[in-house]
Amino acid sequence: MPGGIPEAQLYVPTCIEALPGGKVRGKASVNWSFMNDGQSDLSSKRFTSFKVTVRLKGRVPGGTDAVVTSKTCDVTARINTAAAGDMDCLAPSTALDAKKQWSGDATVVYDIEGDAKGSFTWQLTSSPLMG
């Protein structure tokens, strides 16, 4: 990252969760930490924008994925104010249909503060299938 912005480590695993009551939802867990190299300003604004869109997808075995539910979470404020942290983005739950296979994936769209390069898109790998 440019200037006084510290080096970042970001990890965003995706999964699906079976919930009580026969429901399922998609989940993306945003985990971050900024390295204190002694030269960077850990209190500086790091991102102009950092948003995660998580999707719960379902399909019949052998079929193609279809998005069942999705949600976009704005992580910008949290990631700009904590040197390390995590935040879950949860797609709305839906009824678990045992005849379907389920998976979750996510997309991160971020804009690094002060780099004048605009937004970047990071497509995250889909979770393993459930069902």
Give phi and psi for 2, each to the nearest 5.
-75, 160
Task: Say how far apart CA 113 and CA 74 lie, in whole Å.
Answer: 15
Q: State whether CATH 2.60.40.3930 applies to domain 8-123.
A: yes
Task: Say how far apart CA 42 and CA 34 lie, in whole Å.
Answer: 7
Indicate the length of the chain as a whole number: 131
Tens of pLDDT along the chain (131 residues) come to 444 566 788 999 999 999 999 999 999 999 999 877 666 666 678 899 999 999 999 999 989 999 999 999 999 999 988 889 999 999 999 999 999 999 999 999 999 888 899 999 999 989 999 98
User: How is the chain split into domains, by residue range?
Assistant: 8-123
Task: Say how far apart CA 70 and CA 68 lie, in whole Å.
Answer: 7
Q: What pLDDT was estimated at residue 34?
A: 84
Task: Say how far apart CA 56 and CA 66 lie, in whole Å.
Answer: 8
